[in-house]
Amino acid sequence: MARNKKQLPLLEKVTITDVAAEGKAIARVNDKVIFVPFVAPGDIVDIQITRKKSSFAEGRAVRFHEYSAERATPFCEHFGVCGGCKWQHLPYKEQLKYKHKQVIDNLTRIGKIEMEEIFPILGSERTTFYRNKLEYTFSNKKWLTEEEVKSGATFDCMNGVGFHIPGMFDKVLDINKCWLQDDISNRIRLCIKDYCLTHDGYPFYDLRNQEGFLRTLMIRTASTGELMVVVVFYHEDVERREALLSHVAEQFPEITSLLYVINEKCNDTITDQEILVFRGKDHMIEEMEGLQFKVGAKSFYQTNSEQAYNLYKIAREFAGLTGNEMVYDLYTGTGTIANFVSRQAKKVIGIEYVPEAIEDAKVNSALNKIENTLFYAGDMKDILTTDFINQHGRPDVIITDPPRAGMHDDVINTILLAEPERIVYVSCNPATQARDLSLLDVKYAVKKVQPVDMFPHTHHVENVVLLEKKK
């Protein structure tokens, strides 16, 4: 006989006190920390506990008794269900305050870092429609909201195009309007959805059973006005594929790159797939300070173009380049930072794990007639060695922008051996950045800290740190 599952408690009239990592808020009951999403400090709520551990619990707000003064009205109809933009209920100035606090807490508590100068967080001028790239998923089993389920209505059509529900690989929320990208993105998505629902032979993908026709949709916009659309199909059907893409091209003549992919794999990644051109170019051009960057369907480019420019300007300023420096740009990606600082440096060497990204970096240097850059592809800890430094010369400045996991210990040790005068550390994860800074502390002092908000209405924050060699 199955054991009865223990009923988890309902806590009444609990005050939310603070904001935690990963975008959740905190309440404290009987010395136990409770993490709750979609609430704000000052809210008084009833919390249904959903998970209980010895040191903490998780729950959801089921009733609001009093709303905090620190609240804003969420602008998106999908707030609370969609996994994105979880901080819409917080005024933007409050979001910035908590993000700045997150950076400082991580550096001081985890890294035990002493900082000479901490600048106020640089907010994003645009807090909606700021992304240059979005990816949507087609599903034949869209997610039904709690209200839809309770309504008792029957839904003849379960097709949807939108974003995955957090923690559920096969559940997709059908999106009406997304506030993250220029509204052209909404119009294109809804146009494709409408066409496929009103014409025979366009089944949306079944993620569990691995069948259907329409899989994913990627839309990229550029500051230059160029527009890329990539439609991913599960299998080839020339007649229906061409009919759909011709319709999209006709409805949206502003599309400069209309591309498609036939992806018969189990997963949705297209990095290992052939990108095929239906109409226009196979890439678009981004621009920054007169520099041009070629961006393809597979290319990495910071998703908030305007704020990326501010981020790179800060990194360049912190680097203190005079034109005579040897610069190493670690985790260079498509060489955006390397090319951006090349005019102020004697030579820039970029290193990146992804070979395709390095090819893009070389193309971008050639496109801008930059001749003082070199790029190498491979695992950072295997390439950045004492032999490599002896061959290419000791760096005066190192700029590093690692992934969320931070830098490998071997990379940190090699940096310490290289002893550049300055290190500029750009991070999307202040926690791992703090850990790395503590390891660099034996030879380097933190001079400047500049948090940057790249993703409004989320808990994510970037941080730029200047380190100088101790005398």
Query: Could you give the CA distance from residue 411 to residue 72 in angstroms, rounded to a whole number?
Result: 44
175-214 pLDDT, tens digit each: 999 999 999 999 999 999 999 999 999 999 998 999 999 9
**Collapsed DSSP state (helix, strand, coil) of residue 313:** helix
pLDDT at 151: 81
pLDDT at 147: 81
Listed residue (133, 217, 130) closest to 172, CA to CA: 217
pLDDT at 23: 81
Work out the burial of residue 392: count CB atoms within 10 Å of its CB; fewer than 13 is exposed, 13-18 middle, 19 or more buried: middle
Handedness of CA 230, 233, 235, 237 (dihedral sign): negative
pLDDT greater than 80 at residue 253:
yes
What is 133-284's CATH number, 3.40.190.10, 3.30.365.10, 2.40.50.1070, 3.40.50.1860? 2.40.50.1070
Whether domain 10-71 has CATH 2.40.50.140: the reply is yes
Listed residue (30, 57, 25, 23) closest to 43, CA to CA: 25
Confidence of residue 242 (pLDDT cuts 50, 70, 90): very high
Q: How many residues does the chain have?
A: 471
Range(s) within the chain of domains with CATH label 2.40.50.1070: 133-284
pLDDT at 263: 97
Which residues touch 6 (CB under 8 Å, ≥6 apart)? Answer: none
Query: Could you give the CA distance from residue 84 to residue 76 in angstroms, rounded to a whole number?
Result: 10
CA geometry: angle at 339 spanning 335 and 340, to 5°?
A: 115
- Strands 227-233 and 214-221: what pairing? antiparallel
**302-306 CB contacts, 8 Å cutoff, 24+ apart:** 302/336, 302/454, 303/131, 303/132, 303/133, 303/454, 303/455, 304/124, 304/130, 304/131, 304/132, 304/454, 304/455, 305/132, 305/222, 305/223, 306/124, 306/125, 306/126, 306/130, 306/223
Average pLDDT over residues 426-454: 97
380-407 pLDDT, tens digit each: 999 999 999 999 999 999 999 999 999 9
pLDDT greater than 80 at residue 6:
no
Structure token pair of residue 350: 């970029």
Listed residue (464, 389, 461) closest to 423, CA to CA: 464
Average pLDDT over residues 319-328: 98
Q: What is the pTM of this model?
A: 0.91
Listed residue (134, 265, 272) closest to 207, CA to CA: 265
What's the mean per-residue pLDDT of the chain?
94
**Collapsed DSSP state (helix, strand, coil) of residue 176:** coil
Range(s) within the chain of domains with CATH label 2.40.50.140: 10-71
Domain 94-127+304-469 architecture: 3-Layer(aba) Sandwich (3.40)
Dihedral class, residue 285 (left if φ above 0, else alpha if ψ from -120 to 50, else beta): beta
Question: What are 261's strand-pairing partners?
Answer: 232
Query: Could you give the CA distance from residue 95 to residue 160 in angstroms, rounded to a whole number?
Result: 31
Query: Could you give the CA distance from residue 383 to residue 341 in angstroms, rounded to a whole number?
Result: 22
286-302 pLDDT, tens digit each: 999 999 999 999 998 99
Contact criterion met (CB below 8 Å) for 467 and 447: yes
pLDDT at 1: 44
Catalytic choice (76, 82, 196, 428): 428
pLDDT over 90, % of the chain = 87
Query: Could you give the CA distance from residue 273 to residue 260 in angstroms, rounded to a whole number?
Result: 10
Range(s) within the chain of domains with CATH label 3.40.50.150: 94-127+304-469
H/E stretch holding 174: strand 172-174
22-77 pLDDT, tens digit each: 788 999 998 899 999 999 999 999 999 999 998 899 999 999 999 999 899 999 99
Query: Could you give the CA distance from residue 467 to residue 440 in angstroms, rounded to a whole number?
Result: 9
109-127 pLDDT, tens digit each: 888 999 999 999 999 999 9
pLDDT at 341: 98
Dihedral class, residue 149 (left if φ above 0, else alpha if ψ from -120 to 50, else beta): alpha
pLDDT at 3: 55
Active site residue 85: no
Confidence of residue 157 (pLDDT cuts 50, 70, 90): confident
